[in-house]
Amino acid sequence: MTLALYASDPSNSKGRLFYESVASSRNDYQRDRDRIIHSASFRRLQYKTQVFVNHEGDMFRSRLTHSLEVSQISRGIARTLGCHEDLVEAIALAHDLGHTPFGHAGQDALNKCMKDFGGFEHNLQSLRVVDFLEKKYGAFDGLNLTFEVREGILKHCSKKNASKLGQVGDRFIKGGQPSLEAQIVNFADEIAYIHHDIDDGLRSGILDFKLLGEIESFRETSKQVKEKFTSLTSEQLTNEVLRRMMSNIISDLCDHSISNLKDYDPKSAEDIRSLPLIINFSMHMEKIFAELKNFSRLHLYKHPRVQTMGEQASNIIHSLFYFFKHNYEKLPISFRINNDCAQERNIADYIAGMTDRFAHELINQYGL
């Protein structure tokens, strides 16, 4: 791997919370990636909802397959730009570790329950998982990841919460950008979900080709595909159109970001932090991307079927939260022994870590 001057280099890492010597066979970002893959929270992503709940069908994306797609897209962009591939991979695989069961509806519900106790932010929770909640090592809690991976995981953060996080929260208070690798994963996350959610939307029957024709880029791309291939199955047509759209978006992101790099000419990874956002779409692609997002919000995320799943999810999270609040002794001992924070935070940690089906199981077990 040839690293550009502006890429993050593990030998210049800002380090780990607890000192560890460098491994002889793996760089620090590879090591972080491996720690994430071997964590329990990573395995649980398999049974957490992306948009469609797990029991709706086996072909839909889960948080795990979403994270793998984000990782794949991030690696491709990082390679093109000369950034550190292992770092983007580690950030991508960890970026959703703090997600609750049942997707965004689950997160919103838990945030409401936690309103008077500091709220719930899934980015912050992902950091909490890798810094504290994973119990794999004798020497420390959490996975003790490098600053660069932790910084990449913390995509958004309120100033209030950032002020409690030390160095990794600084940029939300003082301003400034994260590493290029973190910027890459942010965009790869959006590129991945917007395309795979449309794909899953078609699979579920909520979306169809006629409706998608409202989107200019979809209409144009499907026209090109139909002109080139005359006898495609609908599955081939869908895949070919979405594949081309995604490829165009990624190419635009790479081209525009390379042009930004030429303009600003950063000489080190540290230079990136005081520059404007380097990874970005061209203005033309920004419009196309905004149209895709608007369409998905209107026709997919706000669709009555998805909304109904969301309402059911909210009820489950709400019931579980208040059940454990009123029956705190029922919370597993491993969550209760943390006396540093309010009982409600320990309950939120437990609920956020659940898979969809485990949450359902508890609802049945306690007759909620």
Q: Which is nearer to Mg ion, 73 or 225 (CB)?
A: 73
Q: Which is nearer to Mg ion, 65 or 315 (CB)?
A: 65
Answer yes or no whether residue 134 interacts with Mg ion by CB under 5 A. no
Q: Which is nearer to Mg ion, 65 or 260 (CB)?
A: 65
Q: Min. distance of Cβ 215 from Mg ion in angstroms?
A: 22
The residue written with tokens 């600084």 in the block is 170
Stretch that binds Mg ion, among 44-52, 132-140, 183-191, 211-219 (CB under 5 A): 183-191
Write the interaction track for Mg ion spanning residues 42-81; mark x where CB under 5 A is met and - where it is not: ----------------------------------------
Residues within window 271-330 making contact with Mg ion, judged by CB under 5 A: none
Please state, in angstroms and rounded to a whole number, the distance separating the CA atoms of residues 93 and 65.
10
Cα torsion 100, 105, 108, 114 to 10°: value is: -50
User: In the chain, how many H helices and how many E strands?
Assistant: 19, 0
Residue with nearest beta carbon to Mg ion: 189
Q: Min. distance of Cβ 99 from Mg ion in angstroms?
A: 8
Whether residue 62 contacts residue 69, with contact meaning beta carbons closer than 8 Å, is answered with no
Residues within window 194-213 making contact with Mg ion, judged by CB under 5 A: none
Please state, in angstroms and rounded to a whole number, the distance separating the CA atoms of residues 225 and 115.
49
Write the interaction track for Mg ion spanning residues 90-109; mark x where CB under 5 A is met and - where it is not: ------x-------------
Please state, in angstroms and rounded to a whole number, the distance separating the CA atoms of residues 350 and 293.
32
Distance between terminal CA atoms of the chain? 53
How many other CB atoms are found less than 10 A from the CB of residue 87?
Answer: 32
Q: Min. distance of Cβ 337 from Mg ion in angstroms?
A: 31
Q: Min. distance of Cβ 356 from Mg ion in angstroms?
A: 16
Q: Which is nearer to Mg ion, 123 or 319 (CB)?
A: 123
Q: Which is nearer to Mg ion, 189 or 197 (CB)?
A: 189
Q: Which is nearer to Mg ion, 96 or 349 (CB)?
A: 96
DSSP letter, residue 142:
B
Please state, in angstroms and rounded to a whole number, the distance separating the CA atoms of residues 104 and 217.
27
Stretch that binds Mg ion, among 103-111, 181-189, 255-263, 312-320 (CB under 5 A): 181-189
* Given 28, 131, 181, 189, the residue binding Mg ion (CB under 5 A): 189
Q: Min. distance of Cβ 122 from Mg ion in angstroms?
A: 9
| DSSP bridge pairs for 304 | none
Q: Which is nearer to Mg ion, 28 or 197 (CB)?
A: 197
Whether residue 145 contacts residue 16, with contact meaning beta carbons closer than 8 Å, is answered with yes
Q: Min. distance of Cβ 93 from Mg ion in angstroms?
A: 11
Identify the CA nearest to 144 among candidates 11, 34, 14, 17: 17
Q: Which is nearer to Mg ion, 32 or 189 (CB)?
A: 189
Give me the amino acid identity at 63. Answer: R
Query: Which residues of the chain form beta strands (DSSP E)?
Result: none
Whether residue 269 contacts residue 6, with contact meaning beta carbons closer than 8 Å, is answered with yes
Interface residue list for Mg ion (CB under 5 A): 96, 189
